[in-house]
Structure 1
Amino acid sequence: MAAEASETVCTKVTGHSVLVSWVSSVCQTARGYGVDPVPLLIASGLDARLLHIPDARYPVAGVRRLWDGLIQATGDPLFGLTVGKEIQAPALQGLGLAMISCGSLSDLMMIMVRYCKIISTTMNISFDHPPDLKGTKLVLRSDGGAEPMNSARLAVLAFIYRQACSLSQHLVRPLSVTLSLGVNSDAARLDDYFRVPVNLGCEKDSISFAYEDTIEPYAGANRQLMDINAAVVGRYLNRLNNMDIADRVDMLIREELQTGEPRLCTVADLLHLSPRTLQRRLREEGHSFNGLLDKARYEMAHDLLMHSDLSITEIGFRLGFSDLSNFIRACHRWFGCSPVKHRENSLLISV
């Protein structure tokens, strides 16, 4: 991951996002199923041209739609497992290079804990040291929902396990693997890959390794190379974390609109802030939560009225209006006319 290229792209990132090179690897896996991912990218609202810009980023909402489309197209509910088995570490740019040059499984896990948000800003990986476990547990979770079948988390767990075996140059057997997938999932396939009985229907997605496996030194370790790449990745992550709060709130509002009217307390919770702190930080940037919500609704209303054949009632519902009359009043404020008239005017302009 070149620092200069990363900086150029990061200035354009808004809201929660996913590294394009990760998505590119997901798409490459789909091709192995005989599925062309490009139409699914487009249908998910993602620009396929960005696949050639590894350090670029896609919005999380679009990537989650892509996962859904790929699972349906491949017919494989455990498509995420295959992604984790096949993705190559160098595809993750500096993050992958830091991983393959690390000195032990302990280093590998620490890199994933510190820098997992390079892959997705909604991803969280943390250590857990339960008293009854003679080893180390990694726990994965996602902010603001998850992909169908928790595909991204499953892919990351499978990827971490594969790197653990590859870098140690011998089979490493986990102490345990827990997944929040339903108990009707293909347990035998999961057991076969992780080489232990996988516990399904659990509260957390996790993988645990024995202490002796975590401290075993890797023959291919290169501390200098690991530190150089980790520094580059760290600078990239700092730029992601320093996004304007208004941009992050705007993205979350648009995601929340898919299920109902966004609430200040909900968005604040997703950002790990109190509602009062969120309001203060927005004021410091010259914004308000209600103003960002109104702006998002305005832009989405115009887009849906102009580019879709959805009914006025359904568009109002998609924008979080429980009462159609409130949507109509908002359209008069935004466009100076009713939603029906704005659609007619937009069609005349397009002709």
Structure 2
Amino acid sequence: MLHDIEVSAGFAASVMKCAKERGVDAAPIAQACGLDPRDFSQVTRRISLPNFCRFLETLAALTGDPSFGLNAGAALEKGASGIMGYALMHAPTAGHAVELVKNSFRKFDSATIYHFHETDSASRIEWTYSPLIVRRSQFVDLAFVAAIAHFRTILGPGFQRVKAEIERERPENPSVYREHIARNLSFGAAANALIIPHDELDRVNPAADPRLFDILRAQMESLPNLEGYGTDPVQTVRQIVEHSLGQAQPSLAELADRTGMSERTLQRRLAEASTSLHEIIDDSRRDLAEQLLVETDLSLSQISERLGFSASSAFTRSASRWFGTSPSLFRRRRTAAGANPGPIE
């Protein structure tokens, strides 16, 4: 279910450096997590995000540094993500940078779920990751610092007016997060977000090369979107649903468009596979519910939110149908059997 979620291998270069500075040889750990360290120096190469998250969580534990991902993100070179990173480096204004992310992220990023909102006073960039990736707090930290690095450069002193929200729980030392991310930072958010006042969008990037930006943007526009899905339409629907849990679920019409067929044809293909969109959503929620109940300390209301239920009572009813008992009793029984929950991610 997770093999199709990938990120740029360039993210790992600073991870190796930070581990070495802390006396840890990260190469064998990377291999044990299913990664090839030889890929890390190639910004065009892509690696498994779930494996990379395991790699980061393991290094944070081995180094005893709960902010390992944050520090690795701060050490990341701005061009490490490839053409998108270089284009952002040369965006003429903050507004150009926002539009570039909005228009081009699907060409380079199959791991992140973005939403863009406009109010009368600000632009809000919001992002999260597939709920199937349960343990990801270190990656959330790394990716957040990497994502805002370009806006820090462009906005300069104006960055002090930016607001930020991060999905990780409040750490013991929040000051280091406010130093690396933003002074106005909220923890425990439903999704990560950067809120930029509209009157800062015209701020000129002092490091920009507008001609190079136009060239890179044109190159990016010519590239196809990364979908990360296979040719089987039923499996494609299942993967899209899994990755959308906790978000607004796509309609049958939207799924038909993404699989390149009519609604009637997609409905027939699902029926031939003895399933339906409703059953796929229900099965995906059940599988993730079991994972979250067994592997985390997330509260029932938090799990309900990750699964996309409108109320905790709806989750409780579904869990009772899936597991034959309440979610709290199911968790206690599995814990007693030896499947101890891990930390909140």
TM-score per shorter chain, which class?
0.5 to 0.7
Supply the AA of the counterpart residue of 1:164. Answer: F
1:260-280: CA deviation from partner (whole Å, max 9, x where unpaired): xxxx96478699464985796
Query: Following superposition of structure 1 onto structure 2, how do residues 38-187 of structure 1 map, counting pairs within 5 Å?
Result: 38-117=27-106, 120-130=109-119, 134-146=121-133, 148=135, 150-170=137-157, 172-187=159-174
* Corresponding pairs, count: 266
Provide the residue aligned with 1:213 in structure 2. Answer: 200
Q: Any idea what SS the aligned residue of 1:230 has?
A: helix
> How do residues 1-351 of structure 1 correspond to structure 2 at under 5 angstroms?
15-117=4-106, 120-130=109-119, 134-146=121-133, 148=135, 150-170=137-157, 172-236=159-223, 238=224, 240-241=226-227, 243-246=229-232, 249=235, 266=242, 272=250, 274=252, 277=256
CA positional deviation for 1:216: 0.9
Checking the alignment, whether the CA contact within 8 Å between 1:25 and 1:83 is kept in structure 2 is: yes
Q: Which amino acid letter does the alignment assign opposite residue 192 of structure 2?
A: D
In structure 2, do the counterparts of structure 1 residues 208 and 267 end up closer, same or farther at CA, with 3 Å as the change threshold?
A: closer
**Displacement after TM superposition at 1:247 (Å):** 10
Give me the whole-angstrom Cα distance separating, in 2, the residues matched to 1:272 and 1:222: 39
Inter-partner Cα distance in structure 1 for 2:166 and 2:244: 27
For 1:40 and 1:198, locate their aligned partners in 2 and report how far apart those are by CA, in whole Å. Answer: 32
Q: Give me the whole-angstrom Cα distance separating, in 1, the residues matched to 2:266 and 2:144.
A: 35
2:154–2:203 contact (8 Å) kept in structure 1 = no
Q: Deviation of residue 102 (structure 1)? A: 0.5
Q: Which runs of 5+ in 1 are unaligned?
A: 1-13, 254-263, 291-321, 323-351
Which string of whole-angstrom CA distances, capped at 9 and with x for unpartnered residues, describes residues 166-195 of structure 1?
234546214322222213442122223345
Shift in CA distance, 161/58, structure 1 to aligned 2, threshold 3 Å: closer
Bigger-Rg structure (1/2): 1
SS at match of 1:148: coil
Change (3 A) 1:147 1:26: farther
Distance of 2:273 and 2:211 partners within structure 1: 46
1:33-86: CA deviations, max 9, x gaps?
333221121111112232243312112222222122122123222222223322
CA deviation map 1:328-351 (0-9, x unaligned):
xxxxxxxxxxxxxxxxxxxxxxxx
1:260-312 Cα offsets, whole Å, 9 max, x none, are: xxxx964786994649857966998xx9699xxxxxxxxxxxxxxxxxxxxxx
After superposition, the Cα gap between the structure-2 partners of 1:161 and 1:52, relative to the gap in structure 1 and judged at 3 Å, is closer
User: One-letter code of the match for 1:150?
Assistant: S
Q: Residue deviations 1:80-124, cap 9 Å, x none?
A: 222332211122221111011111111222223333456641202
* Distance in 1 between residues matched to 2:60 and 2:82, nearest whole Å: 26
- Which position in structure 2 is the counterpart of 1:334? none
**Shift in alpha-carbon separation, 1:248–1:230, aligned structure 2, 3 A:** farther
User: Aligned-pair RMSD on alpha carbons?
Assistant: 3.9
**Counterpart code for 2:48:** P
1:169–1:52: structure 2 CA closer, same or farther, 3 Å change rule?
Answer: same
Gaps of 5+ in 2: 276-322, 324-345
* Structure 1 residues 212 and 265, CA gap change in structure 2 (3 angstroms): closer
Could you say which residue in structure 2 is the equivalent of 1:301? none
Distance 2:6 2:213 in 1: 25
Distance 1:163 1:90 in 2: 10
If each structure's helix is expressed as a fraction of its own residues, which one has the higher value? 1
Maintained 8 Å contact 1:22/1:119? no
**1:44–1:63 Cα contact (<8 Å) kept:** yes
TM-score (norm 1): 0.62
Q: Write the distance in 1 (CA, Å) between the matches of 2:129 and 2:139.
A: 9
CA contact (8 A) 2:132 2:242 kept: no
Given that 2:114 and 2:126 are in contact with CA atoms closer than 8 Å, whether structure 1 keeps it comes out as: yes
Percent identity, aligned pairs only, is 14
